[in-house]
Amino acid sequence: MPEKILVVGGVALGPKAACRCKRLLPDAQITLIDENVYISYGGCGIPYYVSGETQNLDDLRSTPYHTVRDAAFFAAMKGITVRTQTRALSIDRQAKTLLVKELASGKEEALPYDKLVLATGATPRMPKVEGGDLANVLSLTRLEAAQAIRTACEGGKLSSAVIVGGGFIGLEAAVALADMWGVKVSVVEMMDQILPGALSASLARMAAHDLATHGVAVYTSEKVVRLEGTDGAVRKVFTDKRELDAQLVIFAAGFLPNGQLAKDAGLDVTPFGAIAVDEHMRTSDPNIYAGGDCCSIRNLITGKPGYLPLGSMANRQGRVIGTNLAGGEARFPGYVGTWAVKLFELSFSGVGLTVERARKEGFDALSVSVEQLDRAHFYPEKSMMSLELVLDKASRRVLGLQGACSDGMALKARVDAVAAALQCGQPNVEDISNLEVAYAPPFAAAMDVVNVVGNVADNVLSGRFTPVTADTFIDLWKKRQENGIFFIDARPAAAGKSVQERHPDWHAIPLEEIAARVAEIPRDRPVALICNTGLRAYDALLILARNGVTNTVNALGGMQAVNKMGLLL
Amino acid sequence: MPEKILVVGGVALGPKAACRCKRLLPDAQITLIDENVYISYGGCGIPYYVSGETQNLDDLRSTPYHTVRDAAFFAAMKGITVRTQTRALSIDRQAKTLLVKELASGKEEALPYDKLVLATGATPRMPKVEGGDLANVLSLTRLEAAQAIRTACEGGKLSSAVIVGGGFIGLEAAVALADMWGVKVSVVEMMDQILPGALSASLARMAAHDLATHGVAVYTSEKVVRLEGTDGAVRKVFTDKRELDAQLVIFAAGFLPNGQLAKDAGLDVTPFGAIAVDEHMRTSDPNIYAGGDCCSIRNLITGKPGYLPLGSMANRQGRVIGTNLAGGEARFPGYVGTWAVKLFELSFSGVGLTVERARKEGFDALSVSVEQLDRAHFYPEKSMMSLELVLDKASRRVLGLQGACSDGMALKARVDAVAAALQCGQPNVEDISNLEVAYAPPFAAAMDVVNVVGNVADNVLSGRFTPVTADTFIDLWKKRQENGIFFIDARPAAAGKSVQERHPDWHAIPLEEIAARVAEIPRDRPVALICNTGLRAYDALLILARNGVTNTVNALGGMQAVNKMGLLL
C-alpha cells in the first residue's frame, strides 16, 4: 500500500514538505488541502507587489522559471493532488482521518492518512475596535488584499492610509505606499518604539527618523481606539491621542498561530497557542508533523520555546518535514532570530536578542554600538554602518547583533556571520573581535566594523571606558544646567567650532589638541566626549585618563548616530 | 621601571600591536622600527590607488578621520616612538637586545627590550629570470611602486603590462590597469588556472572569462622565462610559449615570509620559513611575539600550520598581541581562509578549501555547485550567484565554500556566514541546509542560495542524482560521437529549440513535456540533462527516474554556468 500523506495548508511549508516527500518517495499519495483559492505564494512579497516593484501578482506564486504554482502545476509537475477551498475541520487520531469540508458545496468528507502535516499558518491579529468591519480595513497576508490595494493606488484613489503596528510588515507596507504612490501614511504603534523586540530603542530612533524624513508619520505609545467610515468604507482613525485621515487601514499588529485544529485533536500546544514540535518537527503524535507559522520552535539563545513566523523558516522546516515523512531523520534544531527590513535610506537587520529583550529574559545584558564604514575608508563606494552588539556582562557571551546601513546587503553580511556563529556555538566577545570575514577594500575594512564592535565591547566590559548611547548623550547635553557635565567635541576643529559658536557650553577641543589643552578641562565635573563616530573621542578619553581626568563618558557612534536619529543639539 | 617594548615592522600588525599595548599600559615605552620610509599603510589599497579609485597616496596611510599616520602622528597621538629607515639586524635573546642599523648614517645600535614583537612581513616572490633587474619590473607591495605606476598611467606612458601571477594581487592589478587606464594587460600564471588554491577549476574558468571579455589576456600553465629591455627598461616578456609586449612587469607570484631574523635568533620557524607562534601569538621565546605576514598560524580546517598573509588577519592579530604585551591572555585560534576579490562584472569570494585542495589534504572530497538569484526572484534588483560547496563525503563535513556574483557584497554575505560556522564548529551539510540567514525579499530568497547549495549537496551525497560541472557537461557534449550520450535541454521550449535547430543532437524537451515524451528517450544510452540553472533539470531527472530512466547526469548550474565560463556549444 502506498503511503497516504495529507498536508493541511498550502502557502509555504505545506507545498515544500509535500514536494520534498514526493521526490524521495515517488509512490506516496500526497494530498494538500487549503481553504483559500491561491496556494504556494510568497506572502513576504506582498509589499513589493503593492509598491509596483513586483509587477504581476502571479510573480508571487511562480517558480523562478515563471510557471504559476496552481493545482494543475502540482498535479502535472510534482504528482501532488491539491484541493483548494477545502477546510480542515477536525482530526480523528485514532481512526487516522481528517475531516474536511469543501467550501463551495458544503460537502464534508473524512480523508484517511498515514502521516499528516499541519501547515495551518497564522492569523493576523485584528484588535477588536469599533469600525473594524468597515471596508478597506484589512491585513496584508492574502493576495486578494494586495490586489485591492494596488488597484486603488493605480487608480489614484488612495491618498491616506493608517498602518496599525510598527513591525516588519507594517513598515514595509508604509514604505510601499509612501515611496511609490505618494500616499500619506501614518504608522500607529502601541509600544514605545517601532520594531519592538527587533531593535534597541536607539536603533529604532534611527528607523523612525528615516521614516519621518520620507513623509511617514510614526506615532508610538499610541493605540487605535475607533474607526469611522462613510458609506461603509473607512475614512478616519481615532487613536487615544489624535484623529487621522485614512482611506485604508492595514492591521499589521502581529500574528496568532493557528493551533486550534491541533489543540482540538489533543496535540501539545504552547500557552500562546502554537503547536509544539520536537527537533524532527514532529508533534506529540508521531504520525503528525507541523511547521511554519503555526508552530513554536526553540529559541537557541534563550533555550526556550519561541515563535518566529517567517517564510524562510517555513521553507527550511518544510524540507525537514518532507525528508522525515519519507522515513528520514532530518533535524531542525531551532532558531536564533535573524531578520532584515528595507526602509527608505536605511535598511535594518539583526539577530538574537536586543538589549531590552535580553534583560527581560534575565540576562545581565549590556549593548555597545559603533559607527564605521562598511568598506576600506579609501575605497570610493562605501556606507556608514551602525552596529550594536548585545552581551551578557559576566560571561561575555554574545546575545545578539542589530544594525542599520544604507547598503542593506553589507549589513546582512555582518549580521549573517554573527547569526551563523550563534547557531554553531555560544560565541563570546573575543570570537567577534577575531571573527574572520572576507576582506578586500571593496568589501570590508582591514579591521572590519563587526570586529570593531567586538573590540569596543571588550573595552567597555574591561572597564576601559564608560559608554553612553548617542541619544543619552543628547539628553545629557539638554540637561547640562542640572548635571554640570563638561562637553567636549573631539572632531577636527571646524566641525566642533561651528557648534561652539551657537552653544558656548559645547567645547570644541580636537583630538590633536587635547593633550596640550588638558588644563582647560575641569577636574571637578564629569566630562562627556563626542566626535564623528566615537573613534577620536575614545582616543581623547585615553589621553584625558593619562592626565588624570577619569570621570568621563564617550558617546557611542558619535555625531553620525546623533544625525541618524534626527536629534538636534 | 616602565616596560620597554620593541616592535620590528610598521605596516599593519606592528602599529596595531603598539597602539593597543600603549592604550592598556600607558607607561610602556614603545619603539617601532621599520626599514622603509612609509609606515602604517594599507597595502591592500595599492591597486585602487593605481586605478585612481583612491585619489591620493596619502589616503592609504591616513586614519578614517584623514590624519596621515607618520612618525609625528604616532608620537603625538599615540605616545609611540617610530624610527623609520632603521633595519633590525639581529636579536640577542640572552641580553634581550635588538641590534639595529640606521640606514642613512650606517650607525648600529643595540636596543634593549623587555618584550619584542616581530612584524617583519613578507617579501614578494621574485622568480630569478634574465632581465629581472630591468627598470619597470616590480612588485606591488610598496607605496613607491604604486606612485610610479600611477604616474606612468596618468602620463599616458603605459600601453602594455604583464602581470606574473594570477592570484589576488595580480588580478586586482590587472583590473586596475585595464579598466581605468586601458592598458593592454596579460596575466601569466604558472599553474593551470588563475586563483589556484582559492577557486575550483570551474569557478576559475568564470574568473578567466570575466577577465578575457574585458580585454585582459590570461595565460595559464605558462612560465615567464626571460625579460628584454631597451635603455635599461623592460619592453618584452618571453614565456615558454609566447612573446608579450610590456612596458611594465608586475611580479605578483606570492610571498615569502620574512622569518630569517627569527630563525637566526634560534626561534621556531616552519619549514616554509614562517615564524611559529602559539594561540597567544607568542614565539618559542615567551618574551617575543610575532604576527602578520611573517607568521604561520593554524588552519582550523586542516588543523595544520598554514599561511594567510592578509591585512585583515594582521590587524586582528595585532590587537591580540597588544593585549598580551600588556599582560593579557588574548587568543587567536587560527584561520579558516576567507577572501574576496572584485574583478570586472564579477566578484569572487570564498572560505576554506577548494575541492582540489581538499583532496590534496587527504579528504575524500566532493563539491556541488548551484546558480540561483541572490534575492527573491520577484524582487526587481537581483543577481545570479554561483556557489560551490566543498564536502567530505563520508562525514558530510563542510570543508569550504566559494562563489561568483556580480553583487560582491551579496556573495560575501553567504561566504561570511559559512566562514563563521567553520570558525565556531565543524558544520555538516544539514547545518548549511538549515543555516538561518537574514531574509526579506530585497536581501535573500525564502529558500536562500546558501541553503540550496546545502540541499543539493545532501541530494548528491544521498545518491539522488549524479552531478557534472557545467564545463564537464560541455566536454561530454563535444565528445558525443564517442560517448553516445543523449542530451536533453529541459529549459522552456524556445530556449532549447533554438539550439536544436543548429545541433539536431541537442534535444529540447522542456520539463513540462518530459513525462509525456519519455518514449523519445533511449534506454540503452546515458542521458545528460541541462536547463537554465539546474533546477528544472533536477525535476526532469526525477520524472525520468520514475519512468525507469536512471542512467542520467545533471549539469550543475546549467546554462548560466556555461555562459559564465564563456563556453560554446
Residues B288-337: pLDDT tens digits? Answer: 999 999 999 999 999 999 999 999 999 999 999 999 999 999 999 999 99
First to last CA, chain B: 76
Which residue of B312, B340, B417 is in closest CB contact with A420?
A: B417
Distance between alpha carbon B473 and the CA centroid of its chain, in Å? 27
Question: Given the DSSP bridges, would you call strands B365-373 and B384-392 parallel, antiparallel or unpaired?
Answer: antiparallel
B352: nearest Cα among B288, B432, B273, B460: B432
The reply to whether A93 touches chain B by the CB within 8 Å rule is: no
Record: contact A423-B418, CB cut-off 8 A: no
Does residue B8 sit in the same domain as residue B74?
A: yes
Quick one: residue A403, left, alpha or beta (phi over 0 = left, psi -120 to 50 = alpha)?
Answer: beta
Does residue B354 sit in the same domain as residue B310?
A: no
Chain A residues inside the 8 Å CB shell of B316: 433-434, 436, 447, 451
Helix axis angle, B408-424 to A408-424, nearest 10°: 20
Q: What is the pLDDT of residue B493?
A: 85
What range defines the domain where residue A17 resides? 4-122+256-325
d(Cα B170, Cα B163) in Å, to the nearest integer?
6
Give B269's DSSP letter.
Answer: B
Cell matching residue B393: 563525503
d(Cα A399, Cα A357) in Å, to the nearest integer?
10
Does residue A261 sit in the same domain as residue A238?
A: no
- How distant, in Å, are the alpha carbons of A426, A470, A483, A502 from that of A475? 35, 9, 11, 18
The reply to whether B535 touches chain A by the CB within 8 Å rule is: yes
Does residue A147 sit in the same domain as residue A220?
A: yes
On whether residue A154 sits in a domain, the answer given is: yes
**CATH code at position A481:** 3.40.250.10
- How distant, in Å, are the alpha carbons of A212, A219, A224, A498, A524 from that of A243? 18, 12, 9, 41, 50
The reply to whether B533 touches chain A by the CB within 8 Å rule is: yes
Record: contact A378-B42, CB cut-off 8 A: yes
Record: contact B340-A442, CB cut-off 8 A: yes
A414: nearest Cα among A326, A363, A489, A347: A347
Does residue B167 sit in the same domain as residue B269?
A: no
The reply to whether A516 touches chain B by the CB within 8 Å rule is: no
d(Cα A187, Cα A175) in Å, to the nearest integer?
10
The reply to whether B51 touches chain A by the CB within 8 Å rule is: no
In contact, B158 and B134? CB cutoff 8 Å: no
Cell matching residue A358: 535580553
On whether residue B200 sits in a domain, the answer given is: yes
The reply to whether B124 touches chain A by the CB within 8 Å rule is: no
Which residue of B168, B420, B443 is in closest CB contact with A412?
A: B443
Q: What is the dihedral of CA B394, B395, B397, B399, to 10 degrees?
A: -50
Cα-trace Rg, chain A: 27
Q: Which element (helix H / strand E) includes A50? A: helix A46-51
Q: Which has the minimum average pLDDT: A468-472, B47-51, B123-127, B414-418?
A: B123-127
The reply to whether B48 touches chain A by the CB within 8 Å rule is: yes
Does residue A501 sit in the same domain as residue A414?
A: no
Q: What is the pLDDT of residue A1?
A: 81
- How distant, in Å, are the alpha carbons of A34, A261, A418 from that of A110? 15, 15, 48
d(Cα A103, Cα A85) in Å, to the nearest integer?
6
B33: nearest Cα among B91, B76, B77: B91
d(Cα A171, Cα A178) in Å, to the nearest integer?
10
In contact, A440 and B342? CB cutoff 8 Å: yes
Residue where a domain stops, chosen among B233, B253, B273:
B253
- Residues of B numbered 159-178 whose beta carbons fall under 8 angstroms of chain A's beta carbons: which are they? 168, 172
Length of chain A: 569
3-state SS, residue B46: helix
Residue A275 amino acid letter: I
Asked casually if ipTM beats, i.e. exceeds, 0.90, the reply is yes
d(Cα A453, Cα A400) in Å, to the nearest integer?
12
Cell matching residue B44: 591592500
Residue B65 has pLDDT above 80, yes or no: no
A410 to chain B nearest CA, in Å? 6
**CATH code at position B448:** 3.50.50.60
| Residue corresponding to grid cell 487549503 | A34
Going through A509-568 in order, the beta strands assigned E by DSSP cover 527-530, 552-556
Residue B259 has pLDDT above 90, yes or no: yes
Phi, psi at residue A123, to the nearest 5°? -115, 135
Residue B46 has pLDDT above 80, yes or no: yes
Which residue of B311, B378, B424 is in closest CB contact with A427?
A: B424
Does residue B194 sit in the same domain as residue B304?
A: no
The reply to whether A331 touches chain B by the CB within 8 Å rule is: yes
Phi, psi at residue B289, to the nearest 5°? -105, 155
| Residue corresponding to grid cell 518530459 | B514
- The total of structural domains in chain A comes to 4
Record: contact A64-B26, CB cut-off 8 A: no
On whether residue A335 sits in a domain, the answer given is: no
pLDDT bin (cut points 50, 70, 90) of residue B414 is very high
Closest chain B residue by Cα to residue A455 = B319
On whether residue A331 sits in a domain, the answer given is: no
In contact, A224 and A202? CB cutoff 8 Å: no
In contact, A146 and A173? CB cutoff 8 Å: no
The reply to whether B23 touches chain A by the CB within 8 Å rule is: yes
The reply to whether B333 touches chain A by the CB within 8 Å rule is: yes
The reply to whether A519 touches chain B by the CB within 8 Å rule is: no
The reply to whether B417 touches chain A by the CB within 8 Å rule is: yes
The reply to whether B548 touches chain A by the CB within 8 Å rule is: no
Instruction: Quickly list H helices, B235-287.
Output: 260-264
3-state SS, residue B332: coil
d(Cα A217, Cα A212) in Å, to the nearest integer?
6
- How distant, in Å, are the alpha carbons of A67, A267, A281 from that of A263? 37, 5, 16
The reply to whether A360 touches chain B by the CB within 8 Å rule is: no
B237 to chain A nearest CA, in Å? 29
Q: Which element (helix H / strand E) includes A230? A: strand A224-230
Q: What is the pLDDT of residue B66?
A: 80
Tens of pLDDT along chain A (569 residues) come to 899 999 999 999 999 999 999 999 999 999 999 999 999 999 999 999 999 999 999 999 998 778 899 999 999 889 999 999 999 999 999 999 999 999 999 999 999 999 999 999 999 998 899 999 999 999 998 999 999 999 999 998 899 999 999 999 999 999 999 998 999 999 999 999 999 999 999 999 999 999 999 999 999 999 999 999 999 999 999 999 999 999 999 999 999 999 999 999 999 999 999 999 999 999 999 999 999 999 999 999 999 999 999 999 999 999 999 999 999 999 999 999 999 999 999 999 999 999 999 999 999 999 999 999 999 999 999 999 999 999 999 999 999 999 999 999 999 999 999 999 999 999 999 999 999 999 999 999 999 999 999 999 999 999 999 999 999 999 999 999 999 999 999 999 889 999 999 999 999 999 999 999 999 999 999 999 999 999 899 999 999 998 999 999 999 999 999 999 999 98
Chain A residues inside the 8 Å CB shell of B351: 438
Cα-trace Rg, chain B: 27
Which residue of A168, A413, A446 is in closest CB contact with B416?
A: A413
Does residue A234 sit in the same domain as residue A260?
A: no
A105 to chain B nearest CA, in Å? 32
Does residue B351 sit in the same domain as residue B287?
A: no
pLDDT bin (cut points 50, 70, 90) of residue B494 is confident
In contact, B9 and B22? CB cutoff 8 Å: no
In contact, B177 and B311? CB cutoff 8 Å: no
The reply to whether A335 touches chain B by the CB within 8 Å rule is: yes
Residue where a domain stops, chosen among B461, B477, B507:
B461
Which residue of A66, A312, A427 is in closest CB contact with B446?
A: A312
| Residue corresponding to grid cell 490586489 | A147
pLDDT > 90 in chain B, percent: 94
- Residues of B numbered 168-227 whose beta carbons fall under 8 angstroms of chain A's beta carbons: which are they? 168, 172
On whether residue A131 sits in a domain, the answer given is: no
Closest chain B residue by Cα to residue A24 = B464
Record: contact B45-A338, CB cut-off 8 A: no
- How distant, in Å, are the alpha carbons of A380, A386, B18, B33, B268 from that of B274? 35, 38, 21, 20, 9
3-state SS, residue B303: coil
Record: contact B420-A415, CB cut-off 8 A: no
Cell matching residue B520: 523519445
Does residue A145 sit in the same domain as residue A236?
A: yes
On whether residue A132 sits in a domain, the answer given is: no
Residue A563 CB burial class (10 angstroms; 0-12, 13-18, ≥19): middle
B55-77 average pLDDT score: 90
Residue where a domain stops, chosen among A436, A460, A484:
A460
pTM over 0.90: yes
- How distant, in Å, are the alpha carbons of A475, A513, A515 from that of A497? 21, 13, 18
Average pLDDT of chain B?
96
Longest dimension (CA), chain B: 91
On whether residue B345 sits in a domain, the answer given is: yes
Does residue A186 sit in the same domain as residue A116?
A: no
Does residue A438 sit in the same domain as residue A381?
A: yes
| Total CB pairs under 8 A between chain A and B | 307
The reply to whether B331 touches chain A by the CB within 8 Å rule is: yes
Cβ neighbours of residue A493 under 8 Å, at least 6 residues apart? Answer: A508, A510, A513
On whether residue B368 sits in a domain, the answer given is: yes
Which residue of A45, A407, A424 is in closest CB contact with B441?
A: A45
